[in-house]
Amino acid sequence: MQLLERIEKKNAELVLLKAQLNPHFLFNILNNLYSVALQDNSLRVAEGIQKLGDIMRFMLHDNLSDYIPLERELDYLKNYIQIQTLRLSPYVGISITTDLPASHCPQRIAPMLIIPFVENAFKHGISYQHVSWIHILLHCQDNSLRLLVKNSIHSSQKKDLRQESGVGLENVRKRLQLLYHHKHRLQIDQNENEFVVELLVEFDA
């Protein structure tokens, strides 16, 4: 019995080491690509690779925690927006504006709670054929957070985005009900020109 337990323990250690190796391998590849991009004077590519590495670290580490500092969620959000801005910068008809806190936000929050709303805006609000815009505002106070995300809607989008926003937003709705029951308000509106999401979250004092 002791031999079997030792074998199982070794197998568990190997699984853990393998899980640690794969991200390490990916980060090494990203570092190599970053060096190549700098050598070729591809500063936009180098910046994108650097931001992608930061996002991967968040997904592999912070995302596994029950709660994280709000500032870590904001760092992820800013990196994601910057990558999207790099991707869309050649298109003059696309405008992305943000109003995000630069000062310290002391609260803790469940990870990946506000980001899906921004991802949804980039998914549905950008068109290469029409003038497009996204506006993202986030304010944090002592015991509350307010997120406002607005994006353009185009004539080709006939369906109701409130019903077609996919698994990501439905997942967030359920998590908000479970984690912040009676401590949040989520309002999603749509008219002919824009899609608007407003989220208010109250934190324990």
Longest dimension (CA), the chain: 69
Segment 94-101 mean pLDDT: 90
Q: How high is the pLDDT of residue 50?
A: 83
172 three-class SS: helix
Share of the chain above pLDDT 70, in %: 77
pLDDT at 109 > cutoff 50? yes
The residue written with tokens 């050598």 in the block is: 39
Domains and CATH numbers, the chain: 91-202 (3.30.565.10)
Q: Would you say 152 and 194 are in contact if contact means Cβ atoms under 8 Å apart?
A: yes
When pLDDT is cut at 50, 70 and 90, the band that residue 21 belongs to is very low
At 116-162, the pLDDT tens digits run 999 999 988 888 888 899 999 999 987 899 999 999 998 665 555 55
d(CA 194, CA 200): 20
Between the alpha carbon of residue 181 and those of residues 51, 56, 103, 112, the distances in Å are 33, 30, 28, 17
- Tell me what the mean pLDDT of segment 44-63 comes to: 81
147 or 89, higher pLDDT: 147
- Which of 69-73, 104-108, 121-125 shows the lowest mean pLDDT across its residues? 104-108
Give residue 20's pLDDT.
52
Compute the half-sphere exposure of residue 108: CA atoms within 13 Å on the CB side of its CA. 9
Mean pLDDT of the chain: 81
Q: What is the per-residue pLDDT for 61?
A: 80
Q: Tell me which of 20 and 180 has the higher pLDDT.
A: 180
Q: Which pLDDT belongs to residue 192?
A: 86
